[in-house]
Amino acid sequence: MGVWAALNSSVPVALEDGTFVLGLASKDGELSGHLRMVQTKKLIETEVSKRVGTPVQARIIDGTTQADWERAKRKDAEGRRLQEIADSKARAEIASRSNWEGIYEQLSRKFAAMPNKSMPQSRAKFFIESVEMVAEARKVQANRDDLNERNFARCLERIAQYTEIPSGLVAKAVLEKTGEL
């Protein structure tokens, strides 16, 4: 009964770019769920496709006018734009994290493989090599956003922890090596 009521209340709004737009007035908004059900939507697509002679996708919108359809398209475009921004940000985060995570892990492996860790000359050698490694990674980082800076700081803290040198001095050595100081 709900599907029939929804179909009877719906209004064809547009057939555009392979999309058949079916609208419901706001007073019938609770019926839209019936039209959005997979089997009902598929049936609508099949029947409309038969009649127009080409495959179509059904789109159910709130509203029954061309202006409502234009508003839905603008909303879709804004949603895609925001999703692209979020995807871009996520990709940048992953790239930044994976780069600094790799450096962080290299520092750990390098320290674990180091003989005579307790001797100051061994820690000094580790410090010099680590500063070089982190500085090289820093030079190729184009993005200096907050996440990138935090991951960079984690690497500096790791060097400071292993060498027992204050993290500010480690940061100074790296930044001098990169030319930032």
User: Residues 158, 117: one domain?
Assistant: yes
- Mean pLDDT estimate for the chain: 91
Residue pLDDT, tens place only, 55-71: 999 999 999 999 999 99
Per the structure, the complete domain to which residue 116 belongs is given by 94-178
3-state per-residue secondary structure call for 119-136: CHHHHHHHHHHHHHHHHH
**In contact, 28 and 9? CB cutoff 8 Å:** yes
Q: Confirm whether 39 is domain-assigned.
A: yes
Q: For residue 172, what is the enclosing H or E element?
A: helix 167-178
Q: What is the mean pLDDT of residues 15-20?
A: 94
Residue pLDDT, tens place only, 125-161: 999 999 999 999 998 887 788 888 999 999 999 999 9
Q: Confirm whether 43 is domain-assigned.
A: yes
User: Residues 104, 172: one domain?
Assistant: yes
Query: What does the pLDDT read at residue 104?
Result: 93
Q: Confirm whether 70 is domain-assigned.
A: no
User: What is the pTM assigned to this prediction?
Assistant: 0.54
**Quick one: pLDDT band at residue 48, thresholds 50, 70, 90?**
very high
User: Residues 53, 117: one domain?
Assistant: no
Domains of the chain: total: 2
Residue pLDDT, tens place only, 18-44: 999 999 998 988 888 999 999 999 999
Residue pLDDT, tens place only, 114-128: 999 999 999 999 999
User: Residues 101, 150: one domain?
Assistant: yes
Burial of 159 (0-12, 13-18, 19+ CB in 10 A): buried
With H, G, I as helix, E, B as strand and everything else as coil, classify residue 60. strand
Buried/exposed code over 16-46 (b: 16+ C-beta within 10 A; e: otherwise)? eeeebbbbbeeebeebbebbeeeebbeebbe
